[in-house]
Amino acid sequence: MRNEAVANSGERAEPAELVAGLYTDGIIACRGAFSRAWAAAMHEDIMVAFAEAIAREGGAVGRGPQRYYVEIHPEQLRGFVDLATHPWVTAVSEAVLGPDYEIVEVGFDIPFPGAQNQPWHRDFPAPPETYEQHQLTSLAFNLTAVDTTAEMGPFHIATGTQFESGLDFEHGMFPAEAEWPRFEQAGQFKLPQMGDISARSALTIHRGTANHSQESRPVLVLGVDAPGAGHAELHDLMVTKAFHATLPAELRRHLHARVVDQLIPIVQKHTIEGLVMGAP
């Protein structure tokens, strides 16, 4: 896939611009980073991985009715190296998280037809470095596997909320329902297309919305940390020795994964209690 993966270089921006977008809105995007053929292959890999994960206990976790999250190993994604070494991904990671950033998570979210609005939330409690010093210590890169439409339950993000402390949020992640109107006011619906990449702070308040279509809307997630952020403890990336040996040296330096003789199916560690409620 690597020979035809990159459709173009996407929207170019200087590091200062990348940082500014994440420190203001909390989300930025690179349009057309990959070809549609690359995104279609990613879609195939996601659905194969979902079928395997849903068939075993702990392989997929509910994130609301008809919505699941699955973590996978890098080897399950044919385009992993393309993604992890994409110039925009590496530039954003270095600009925001520093030269020693760590790739700690690969997974995907699928809202199927009938998925409902999630409560407004963030993906984990904010660390003091973020709400006291306004320093971002982690990023989530997202890639849609389909062309998103308004009927498919698009991602809804309340821009500029990444630095709220959340000390009064339930579990540090779920603001009270009385607060939801202001997130609605700041909210933007995102309609990415196949081949696009976005980067966001997972602390920016957001939600998945109701999927009124007859199609699922898979979205790949690449989680990246600054050193010491600690989210690797919530995940368990593994690569085989054979796969590890094929990786570019610079990618091996950033990949926070166990090197094993044989891959072990991932049992989900990072469940989000407020989203599991009502899950199938």
Q: Is the pLDDT of residue 199 over 70?
A: yes
- The amino acid occupying position 134 is H
Q: What does each C-alpha distance from 164 to 50, 122, 128, 131 come to in angstroms?
A: 34, 10, 10, 6
Confidence grade of residue 3 (pLDDT, cut at 50, 70, 90): very low
Q: Is the pLDDT of residue 34 over 90?
A: yes
Average pLDDT over residues 164-172: 96
Q: Is the pLDDT of residue 6 over 80?
A: no
Write the secondary structure of 57-88 as one string of H (helix), E (strand) and C (coil).
Answer: CCCCEECCCCEEEEECCHHHCCCHHHHHCCHH
Nearest Cα to 72, choosing from 60, 64, 84? Answer: 60
Across all residues in the chain, what is the average pLDDT?
A: 91
Nearest Cα to 158, choosing from 112, 115, 190, 197? Answer: 190
Sorted by where each begins, the domain ranges of the chain are 2-276
pLDDT at 11: 52
pLDDT at 275: 56
Q: Does domain 2-276 have CATH number 2.60.120.620?
A: yes
76-129 pLDDT, tens digit per residue, is 999 999 999 999 999 999 999 999 999 999 999 999 999 999 999 999 999 999
Q: Is the pLDDT of residue 271 over 60?
A: no
**Packed helices 15-24 and 87-97: angle between N→C axes, nearest 10 degrees:** 70
Confidence grade of residue 278 (pLDDT, cut at 50, 70, 90): very low
Widest distance between CA atoms in the chain: 52
Q: Is the pLDDT of residue 264 over 70?
A: yes
Q: Which two tokens stand for residue 159?
A: 């821009």
Which of 5-19, 77-91, 200-214 has the lowest average pLDDT? 5-19
Write the secondary structure of 93-141 as one string of H (helix), E (strand) and C (coil).
Answer: HHHHHCCCCEEEEEEEEEECCCCCCCCCECCCCCCHHHHCCCCCCEEEE
Average pLDDT over residues 53-73: 92
Give the Cα separation of 60 and 157 in Å (integer). 24
Q: What does each C-alpha distance from 249 to 5, 85, 256 come to in angstroms?
A: 20, 11, 13
pLDDT at 1: 44
Give the Cα separation of 142 and 51 in Å (integer). 21
Percent of the chain with pLDDT over 90: 82
